[in-house]
Amino acid sequence: MTGASFGQVTIVGLGLLGGSIGHAVQAYLPGTTVVGYDADPDVREAARGLGLAHRIADEAGEAAIGSDLVIFCVPVGAMGAAAAAIAPGLSVEALVSDVGSSKATVAAALAQALPGHHVIPAHPVAGTERSGPEAGFAALFRNRWCIITPPADADPVLLARLVAFWEALGARVETMDADHHDKVLAVTSHLPHLIAYTIVGTASDLEQVTQSEVIKYSAGGFRDFTRIAASDPTMWRDVFLTNREAVLEMLQRFTEDLTELQKAIRKGDGAFLFDHFTRTRAIRRGIIEMGQDDARPDFGRSDHNGDGQGSGGGEPA
């Protein structure tokens, strides 16, 4: 079974992820026809010029006609509305999936909007801080994880085809329960983004106090926070609202750990700080050893991997 078993794929939402899927399918699955749709007419026009799909539909209802895989690449809060708009042209045999960063709420929204259809959610854990159709590139998913969260009654044949599809685009595929996914991503993606937005916002509030020196003398750590905080605001607003319980749970744990660090600094407990930083340093090395980031001083952010894009950035929603 190969990813090319899908003869026609419809991509709904032509930003970074949707555009990258369009490029990747054309590059790695030349036997598959790609149809694209976006609710924004300016985005549709840009997508045509960029060649993101073989055909760009101008109406939501016609976008899914003839497709056996439909992937929703819209903000997680817009999944239900996007699915309802596509429904008139969607075959009952087609597989419906998505790329959202929170899975339990997305699965419920898609199932409610498309009763009787095959829905298997997915989340490619890949992205950059850039957004829009111009940001997409074919190699985005190569050697990155794609987590698939099939419902208990998922068709095993369709699940196998979806796994093969993402593997054909270069992704490493894992399957897990949707609720477990949401807790894991709350730690690895959502909480870091929330912290980044907070730190950059605090720095902005302190600009007058420091006479613009915060931005002028930005060190590497702060620059990386600003890179993450440059991610799409609509997307991340929806992520925090749709994965609220898991994010709040992890935020509480983080707050407790931060309080322990505050106590150590106040008490001058150097041994505690050293042990803590040693443990977290080992985690960073583990991420590099798994091939999920770059050990170079600039994290490879200035390299372009032959595809016109750097390797860093925030995860998509």
Rg (the chain; Cα; Å): 21
pLDDT tens sequence across 271-288: 988 988 888 877 666 555
In whole angstroms, how far apart are CA 99 and each of 166, 186, 268? 11, 16, 46
Tell me the CATH architecture of domain 180-268: Orthogonal Bundle (1.10)
- pLDDT for 160 equals 96
**What whole-number distance in Å separates Cα of residue 197 and Cα of residue 175?**
30
Phi and psi at 115, nearest 5°, equal: -60, 140
Q: Domain boundaries in the chain? A: 3-176, 180-268
User: Do 3-176 and 180-268 agree at the fold level?
Assistant: no
DSSP helix/strand/coil, 57: coil
**Residues listed for the chain:** 317
Q: Residue 171: which of 143, 140, 139, 138 has the closest Cα?
A: 143
**What whole-number distance in Å separates Cα of residue 145 and Cα of residue 154?**
21
Per-residue confidence in pLDDT tens, the chain, 317 aa: 344 589 999 999 999 999 999 999 999 999 999 999 999 999 999 999 999 999 999 999 899 999 999 999 999 899 999 999 999 999 999 999 999 988 999 999 999 999 999 999 999 998 776 788 999 999 999 999 999 999 999 999 999 999 999 999 999 999 999 999 988 888 878 888 888 888 878 777 776 665 566 666 666 667 777 777 777 787 788 888 888 888 898 888 889 989 999 999 999 999 988 988 888 877 666 555 555 554 544 444 443 333 333 334 444 44
Fold of 3-176: Rossmann fold (3.40.50)
Which residues lie closer than 8 Å to 305 by C-beta, 6 or more apart?
A: 139, 311
pTM of the model: 0.76
